[in-house]
Copies of this chain bind each other. A is one copy, B any other.
Amino acid sequence: MEFVKSVPNDKEQILAAIKSQINTHREVDLKKMLEELHPADIAEIIESLAEKQRVSVFGLLSSEKAAAVLYELNSEIVAPLMESLDKSIAAEIMDEMSTDDAADIIGDLKDEDKAKLLNLMEYADAEDVQELMDYPEDTAGGIMTTEYVAIREDITVERAIQVVREFAQEAETVYYVYVINERNQLVGVISLRELILAKSSATIADVMRRKVVSVNVQTDQEEVANMVAKYDFLAVPVVDNNNQLLGIVTVDDVIDVIREEATEDMYLLVGTTEIDDEEDLYHRIRKSVRYRLPWLLITLMSGVISGQIIKSFSGALNAMVALAFFIPLLTGMGGNLGTQSSTIIVRGIATGQIDSRKILHNIIREGLVGLSIGLICGFIVAIFAVLWQGKPILGLIVGLAMWGNMVTAATIGTLVPLLLKKLNVDPAVASAPFISTTLDNTGLIIYGSLTMLFFKFLI
């Protein structure tokens, strides 16, 4: 978590310099240049190189740096890069890695590559990594690291600082020191800040905080992230059902979770998926089509139903073709309002701002918004229809349809994600395509019914 190195102000320039140094085999300069860069930047540079150049640049890194870079690299590059290295060097790099980073990297690989990389590690480490990989990816266990500093409560502050010094190189964060008892149960915590402020002769038991916020290893990663965000923690300890300390989740991983979850929700809301800039154009498009098409086919089926609904009042439509003019207006407005409602609910549930158990409360609130907006929009549309077509009855039908449509839209847009949450399905699948096409059909049913009702006045 702690590289404070130079960030290239002009990446293109650095990249050009590196390429020229590869071509002219000025390895010493290149090595020096790379050592000064942040691993995240080196990873970006390596990804933009041709495969052969990747290997030669990666090979120049110290094993410590290489481990950090490996973590930042796109998973598809990792396996071929490691295989191109000497076995002993590859093993050294794997040893430099924290177990959670190793688990993340290896977890993303194909099965045959997984075994290869695990075999490079020391037995104890490999076991730890294997264990970490067994936790579901989106739980506290899946994002935690096992490299933390834990001490016993009977030692002195002076001794504790010594322990921190010893572990500072290896641990992910030394800014919290956890206190455990003989059964490895979490009994306290002390921050490094408090530790250096404390009297060196005091025992840890005297100065530690006994009330520790921890999360269970099975807690959903989104919940862990919300907790860290709320309490401004730098790390949170992870325990099993017996309160035994298993690991910690650090704030940098929490940031990744928050960003990922937001992206995932946004994409899910419109029925699409992340694009991966590493793959070539053909694969990216194929992947994109494969993911987005099913959602759009559902929309398509729903559109066919829309056609069927319109067909059912085609008698009226034949008599007065102006009825068709208002179809996109009605369906579009319903879809937009409904999508607003469902987005508010989905995001509110994710950030913990909305209590998903208060179904009625939320429906009333959004329903009233729909009622108000529907009243205004219905009125405007009615006026417009009368002025445009000169038929008051058409204005009445269109205005009422708009109003009913908006109330339905707000209600359904609110209800669907809340119900999904209750069924333990990610509420973000209450996506815009799904909500808006459903609302196309409810809107058309309302419009058709009103048309039928007033049909005799229309012609």
Q: A residues touching B (Cβ–Cβ < 8 Å)?
A: 1-7, 36, 38, 40, 161, 164-165, 168-169, 174-176, 189, 191-194, 196-197, 209, 211-213, 227-234, 251-252, 254-256, 258-259, 262-263, 265-267, 269-272, 275, 277, 281, 284-285, 288-289, 292-293, 295-297, 299-300, 302-304, 306-308, 310-311, 314, 317-318, 321-322, 324-333, 335-337, 339-340, 343-344, 347-348, 351, 353-354, 364-365, 368-369, 372-373, 376-377, 380-381, 384, 388, 432-433, 436-437, 440, 444
* Cβ-defined contact, B333 with A289, below 8 A: no
* Cβ-defined contact, B254 with A255, below 8 A: yes
The residue that A231 contacts in the complex, of B3, B211, B328, with Cβ under 8 A, is B3
Query: Nearest-CB distance from A320 to chain B (Å)?
Result: 10
* Cβ-defined contact, A440 with B6, below 8 A: no
A326-B307, A353-B277 given as contacts; is B193 within 8 A of A174 (CB)? Answer: yes
* Cβ-defined contact, B340 with A293, below 8 A: no
Each complex incorporates copies of this chain amounting to 2
**Which residues of chain B are within 8 angstroms of A258 by Cβ–Cβ distance?**
255, 258-259, 262
* Cβ-defined contact, B340 with A381, below 8 A: no
* Cβ-defined contact, A296 with B333, below 8 A: yes
Overall SS of chain A's interface: helix
Query: Nearest-CB distance from A100 to chain B (Å)?
Result: 13
**Which residues of chain B are within 8 angstroms of A193 by Cβ–Cβ distance?**
2, 168, 174-175, 192
**Which residues of chain B are within 8 angstroms of A436 by Cβ–Cβ distance?**
332, 335-336, 436
* Cβ-defined contact, A231 with B196, below 8 A: no
* Cβ-defined contact, A168 with B189, below 8 A: no
